[in-house]
């Protein structure tokens, strides 16, 4: 069973137009606080990012924000966090998020959310970490993305083992359960010492 003391959440810096997403972000924040799971995230006070951070803090939980210096503006950064870490750039930010966290969850978001999700799952695929990665598929938001991954499997660009690395659920509690039970069994083919 994985100990999920700190979970990094990737999500939008916009609110979007689906209230179910905002409501679920609030609920996830409450769950984190109740379970003493520290939220690690991108340090913004706006959008879905701000919603989950405010929810954790409102329920007496802990929040670590990690933000690159160029984004650290008063109208963006949340100054009431438990801890605020400033990095030199986006690459250092993602590395720090990975180091600080025991697992990762992607909520709905845009290009930045997808970029963070796919980088962290690629690192898992390459054996650079062994932490669980969850996709919270609120109101079918990620249905088309899941279909795209299935197409990658059918077309021979993604193995079923690697497809299975991404844990998917629409219920926050069920997703956390899958993450706690996650076990990685594959060894990246690139690390096989028999290959020349």
Helices (H), 35-171: 47-58, 90-100, 111-125, 143-154, 160-163
- For the residues 103-122, what does the mean pLDDT come to? 97
| Residues 45-61 pLDDT 10s | 999 999 999 999 999 99
- What are the residue boundaries of the structural domains of the chain, listed by start? 6-191
For the chain, percent of residues with pLDDT exceeding 70: 93
Distance between CA 167 and CA 157 in Å, rounded? 19
Does the global pTM surpass 0.85? yes
> Cβ contacts of residue 138 below 8 Å, gap of 6+?
18, 20, 21, 24, 107, 108, 170
> Residues 157, 162, 165, CA angle at the centre, nearest 5°?
145
Which class is domain 6-191? alpha beta
Instruction: Indicate if the pLDDT at residue 179 is higher than 90.
Output: yes
């Amino acid at each position: 069973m994985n100990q999920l003391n700190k979970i990094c959440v990737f999500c939008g810096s916009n609110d979007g137009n689906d209230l179910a997403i905002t409501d679920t972000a609030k609920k996830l924040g409450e769950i984190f606080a109740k379970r003493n799971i520290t939220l690690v995230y991108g340090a913004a006070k706006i959008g879905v990012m701000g919603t989950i951070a405010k929810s954790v803090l409102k329920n007496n939980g802990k929040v670590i924000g990690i933000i690159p210096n160029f984004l650290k503006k008063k109208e963006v950064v949340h100054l009431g966090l438990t801890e605020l870490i400033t990095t030199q750039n986006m690459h250092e930010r993602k590395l720090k998020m990975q180091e600080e966290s025991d697992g990762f969850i992607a909520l709905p978001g845009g290009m930045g959310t997808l970029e963070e999700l796919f980088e962290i799952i690629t690192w898992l695929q390459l054996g650079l970490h062994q932490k669980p990665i969850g996709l919270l598929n609120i109101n079918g938001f990620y249905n088309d993305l899941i279909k795209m991954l299935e197409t990658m499997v059918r077309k021979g660009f993604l193995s079923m083992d690697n497809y299975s690395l991404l844990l998917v659920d629409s219920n926050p509690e069920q997703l956390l359960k899958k993450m706690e039970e996650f076990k990685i069994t594959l060894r990246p083919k690139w690390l096989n010492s028999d290959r020349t």
